[in-house]
Structure 1
C-alpha cells in the first residue's frame, strides 16, 4: 500500500517478531481467541481520502429527516426495544478494497452497523504493531487529528456521558468469555466502567442494579454489546436478570434498535460509486441471468452466517420470506496487500463516534486480511497473513 513502508516491513519481518508481537498484545489481558494478522495495513493518503468520502456519503443518508421512516420495518417486532433515542452513538462501515474502472484502489461498501465494534482494542493493537515491529511512531490508526488521549476522552464522553463510571456497565452474555473480551478489558481499563455479564444485572421495578462488595449500585447507562441475533429465541436467559424489551429506567449506549436500522437493511437505500448494487429480494422482479456475480444475504444474521456466495436460482425460489433477504452484486477484492508469498485481500472498517447533540466523527479503523472466499476469521483458518488488523496512516 504505502510501497516504501511495505517493502521495509516485509524485509524486516520474521516469525520470531510476530510471536513476540502476539505475546506483547495479550500481556495483562485474557487470551485472544481470534487470529490477529502478521501485519497492519499501511493506508496511503489517496485511499484515506476515498474512505472519508465514502463514509460521508453514507452519513448523509443516515442524517436525512426521513431515515427512521425508511427503516421502520428493519426492526423485528419481537426485538423492538422501547425509548429509542434520536441517533446511534456508533457507526461502523465495512469496505472491501477493490480496483475501480481506472485501475485505482477504491473502497466498496460491504456491510454497515449502528453498533459498537472493537473501539478499545484497535488502539491497543496499533500500539503493539508499532512497538513490536519498530515502526514509525508517527503512524496512526486515528482520523481527524485525534491522538490516543483525545480519542479515549471522546469515547468516554460518548459511553459515560455525565454519569460516574461505576454507574455505567459494559454488558454482554457471559461477557468475560466472549471472543471480543480483550476489547471489553481494554475499554474498561481506559474509561473506568465495569464489565458485567447480563446474568449479574438484577431488576427492581424499572431500575437495574448490580452488587459490588455487598453494595447495591444502580445502573444508569448500559454500553450494550449484546446482539439479539446471537440469542435467537433463547429468551430464557432474561429470566434471572432483565428483559431489554421492557420499559426500563435506563439509557442505552447505543440503543439496540439501531443495530437493525443501520445494517444490511439500509444498503438498498444507498447509491454512489462506493456502494455496490443491493436490492431487497422481495423487490427483484426478474432473477439476474448472471447469478454468479451476486451474493444472497439474510438481513438478520451475524458474522456472515447464512450468506450464500454461489447463488443458484433454486436458492432464490426456495426462500419463503424474500423481504428478509438482500441480493447484492459481488465485490471483487483486489489482493493488494503484499505478503512474502503473494497478494492478500483486505477490508477496512471505518468506526465513528456520535456524541449526543453533536455530529458523527470518524475516529479509528479496523481491518481484516483474507485469502479465503470470505473475509471472516472462520473462512481463513488455514492461512497465514490473514485475520484482524488495523490500518495505519501517515500524518
Structure 2
C-alpha cells in the first residue's frame, strides 16, 4: 500500500527468501504453520494508520459505556453462559476490510470484532521473521504504543500469568494439536512457560481443576481460554467425558468466555462511525432495503465466516425463522490494494488489544492480516493462489 516500499519489496523477493522465512518461523515456533502464510506483509501508510486507530478508539468508547453489559445481555446464548464473569475482557480483536473511499483514498471498514485472544504470540514471531529475511524499513513497526519484542511479551506475561506460578496457568483448547492455530499454542508455551491442555485432560475435584504436568497432578489457577464454545458444542458427542465448564469453578478466566459473545458482531448496530458499515438486527430492521444485493446477512452465533450470506435475496429473509439471531449489514467492497507479481490482492487487518486488570482502557498492541484474491477472506477460504494467506502489517506512524 506504500507504493515505494511495495515496489522495492516485490523486486527483492525471491522464492528462496520465502522458503527461508518459512523455515525461520518453523524453527522459532517448533512446528510449521497449519495454514498458508503469505509471501508478503502489508505496508500501511500513515493516513490509513490514523483512520484505523481512530475507529478502534471509537469502538472502545462503546465498550466503555456504563450500560454495556445491559445492551449486550442477550448476546450470550443462555446455554453458553459461564459463571464468574469479570468487568472487562483481557483481549479484544477488531477486524477491518481495506476499502476505497469515494475520493480513492484507502479507508477501513469494520467486519467483525471479538472479546477473545487469537494468535497473540505467533504474530510477533511472524513479524520478526519478516524483518529477519526481508528488507522491512526501520521506520515501520508492527507494534503500537511504544512496545517492542521484549515489552510486548512482558505485557502478555503480566496479563496471562501475572503473579501466578506458570505451572498453575494453562492454555485451554479442544484437541489443540488438531487446531489450525496450534502454532500459536507452541509460541505461547515458549514465551510464557505455560502448558497447552486439552479440555478432556482436565481433572475436577469439587470446584478445583487439575491437570497432569509431567505426570504430576497440578492445580489450575488461571485458564488462558482458547475454546470457542459453539465449536465445543459441535464436537461434544465425539469427545467422551469432559469437565463441564459452565459450572462455578474456582479458576480465573483470561479472557472470560462470556466476552466472546458480548464483544462480537452483536454490537455492530450500536457502533456509529464513518468506518463502520450500517448494521441492523434483522428483527429490528425498519424497512427492507430495495438493493439487498448491497448487503450481507450474518448469523450472530456463527463464527469464522460460517453461515454468512453474501448475495442476499428476499427469499433468504423469508426463510429465516429466528431474525433476532441475525444482522443485516451493508456490504463492503474490498480494494485491490496490494500489488503482487501475479495480480492485485485484497486484505483484512486485525487490530489487537490487551486490557490489563485495573487499566482504564484497553491498549492497542499488535496486528494480524489476511490476504486473498478470492471472494472470501480467511485462511480457510484460500485457493491455490500465491501471495495470499495469513500475514502481518507494518505501520507508518500517522
TM-score (ref. length: structure 2) = 0.96
Aligned to 1:111: 112
Q: Secondary structure at the match of 1:232?
A: helix
Aligned to 1:126: 127
Aligned to 2:82: 81
1:202 touches 1:240 (CA, 8 Å); kept in 2?
no
Aligned to 2:43: 42
Q: Secondary structure at the match of 1:268?
A: helix
Aligned to 2:209: 208
Q: Secondary structure at the match of 1:337?
A: coil
Q: Secondary structure at the match of 1:379?
A: coil
1:220 touches 1:249 (CA, 8 Å); kept in 2?
yes
Aligned to 1:32: 33
Instruction: Please report how far the alpha carbon of residue 371 of structure 1 lies from its aligned counterpart in structure 2 after TM superposition.
Output: 1.0
Which one is further off, 244-253 or 385-394?
A: 385-394
Alignment of 1:273 onto 2:274 = yes
Aligned to 1:381: 383
What CA distance in whole angstroms lies between the structure 1 residues aligned with 2:210 and 2:241? 13
Which one is further off, 297-306 or 9-18?
A: 9-18
Instruction: Please report how far the alpha carbon of residue 176 of structure 1 lies from its aligned counterpart in structure 2 after TM superposition.
Output: 2.5
Q: CA RMSD in A?
A: 1.4
Residues 201-350 of structure 1 mapped to structure 2, 5 A cutoff: 201-236=202-237, 240-350=241-351
2:34 touches 2:182 (CA, 8 Å); kept in 1?
no
What CA distance in whole angstroms lies between the structure 2 residues aligned with 1:201 and 1:284? 44
Which one is further off, 220-229 or 94-103?
A: 94-103
> Structure 1: which 5+ residue stretches go unaligned?
none
Q: Secondary structure at the match of 2:158?
A: helix
Instruction: Please report how far the alpha carbon of residue 172 of structure 1 lies from its aligned counterpart in structure 2 after TM superposition.
Output: 0.1
Instruction: Please report how far the alpha carbon of residue 374 of structure 1 lies from its aligned counterpart in structure 2 after TM superposition.
Output: 1.1
1:130 touches 1:137 (CA, 8 Å); kept in 2?
no
Instruction: Please report how far the alpha carbon of residue 58 of structure 1 lies from its aligned counterpart in structure 2 after TM superposition.
Output: 0.2
Runs of 4+ in 1 over 4 A off after TM superposition: 236-239
What CA distance in whole angstroms lies between the structure 1 residues aligned with 2:300 and 2:396? 37
Instruction: Please report how far the alpha carbon of residue 236 of structure 1 lies from its aligned counterpart in structure 2 after TM superposition.
Output: 4.7
* Superimposed CA distance per residue, residues 231-269 of structure 1 (whole angstroms, 9 cap, x where no aligned partner): 235445776331110010010000000000000101011
Aligned to 1:369: 371
Alignment of 1:100 onto 2:101 = yes
Q: Secondary structure at the match of 1:252?
A: strand
2:25 touches 2:32 (CA, 8 Å); kept in 1?
no
What CA distance in whole angstroms lies between the structure 1 residues aligned with 2:130 and 2:250? 42
- Cα gap change, 1:234/1:336 in structure 2, threshold over 3 Å: closer, same or farther? closer
1:126 touches 1:140 (CA, 8 Å); kept in 2?
no
Instruction: Please report how far the alpha carbon of residue 47 of structure 1 lies from its aligned counterpart in structure 2 after TM superposition.
Output: 1.2
Aligned to 1:355: 356
TM-score (ref. length: structure 1) = 0.97
Residues 135-214 of structure 1 mapped to structure 2, 5 A cutoff: 135-137=136-138, 139-214=140-215
Q: Secondary structure at the match of 2:185?
A: helix
> Structure 2: which 5+ residue stretches go unaligned?
none
Instruction: Please report how far the alpha carbon of residue 101 of structure 1 lies from its aligned counterpart in structure 2 after TM superposition.
Output: 2.5
Instruction: Please report how far the alpha carbon of residue 114 of structure 1 lies from its aligned counterpart in structure 2 after TM superposition.
Output: 0.3
Aligned to 1:20: 20
Q: Secondary structure at the match of 1:4?
A: helix
Instruction: State how many pairs are aligned.
Output: 395
What CA distance in whole angstroms lies between the structure 1 residues aligned with 2:328 and 2:239? 34
What CA distance in whole angstroms lies between the structure 2 residues aligned with 1:239 and 1:203? 15
Which one is further off, 175-184 or 253-262?
A: 175-184
2:49 touches 2:396 (CA, 8 Å); kept in 1?
no
Q: Secondary structure at the match of 1:341?
A: coil
What CA distance in whole angstroms lies between the structure 1 residues aligned with 2:326 and 2:111? 15
* Superimposed CA distance per residue, residues 198-249 of structure 1 (whole angstroms, 9 cap, x where no aligned partner): 1111100000001223322110000000001212354457763311100100
What CA distance in whole angstroms lies between the structure 1 residues aligned with 2:392 and 2:235? 34
What CA distance in whole angstroms lies between the structure 1 residues aligned with 2:215 and 2:25? 34
